[in-house]
């Protein structure tokens, strides 16, 4: 993870934490997981969109080795995003359940 990704994560985490607190999400474990995980996913998504994919699209097709390296980096980036999504999914489900519990009563 690059410095700009880390900076963006640090910037987003308090915003996500404040939103979850405003919503009344009291489960510390899920809240901590969501604060980190959602910030990581957002950061990696931004990097993918602004840096990784444009690099892949702009490289000359004659630079096969460079394209292969960039393609491997794309794959690794997507796998890291997928891991983060998998990690936050249960916490997101818990928040959905929490938000809908008032409707069910």
pLDDT tens-place string over residues 7-30:
999 999 999 999 999 999 888 899
DSSP letter string, 33-74: HHHHHHHHHHHHHHHIIIIIHHHHHHS-TT-HHHHHHHHHHH
The C-alpha angle with vertex 85 and arms to 90 and 56, in degrees rounded to 5, equals 175
Measured distance CA(72)–CA(78) in Å, rounded: 10
Pair 81, 45: CB distance under 8 Å: yes
pLDDT tens-place string over residues 79-105:
999 999 999 999 999 999 999 987 666
pLDDT tens-place string over residues 29-40:
999 999 999 999
pLDDT tens-place string over residues 44-86:
999 999 999 999 999 999 999 999 999 999 999 999 999 999 9
Residue 58 CB neighbour total at 10 angstroms: 8
């Amino acid at each position: 993870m690059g410095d700009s990704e880390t900076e963006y994560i640090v910037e987003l985490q308090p915003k996500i934490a404040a939103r979850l607190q405003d919503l009344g999400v009291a489960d510390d474990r899920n809240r901590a997981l969501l604060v980190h995980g959602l910030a990581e996913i957002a950061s990696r998504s931004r990097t993918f969109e602004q840096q990784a994919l444009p690099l892949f699209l702009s490289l000359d097709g004659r630079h096969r080795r460079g394209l292969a390296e960039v393609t491997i980096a794309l794959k690794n980036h997507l796998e890291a995003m997928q891991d983060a999504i998998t990690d936050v999914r249960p916490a997101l489900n818990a928040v959905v359940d929490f938000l809908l519990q008032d409707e069910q009563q």
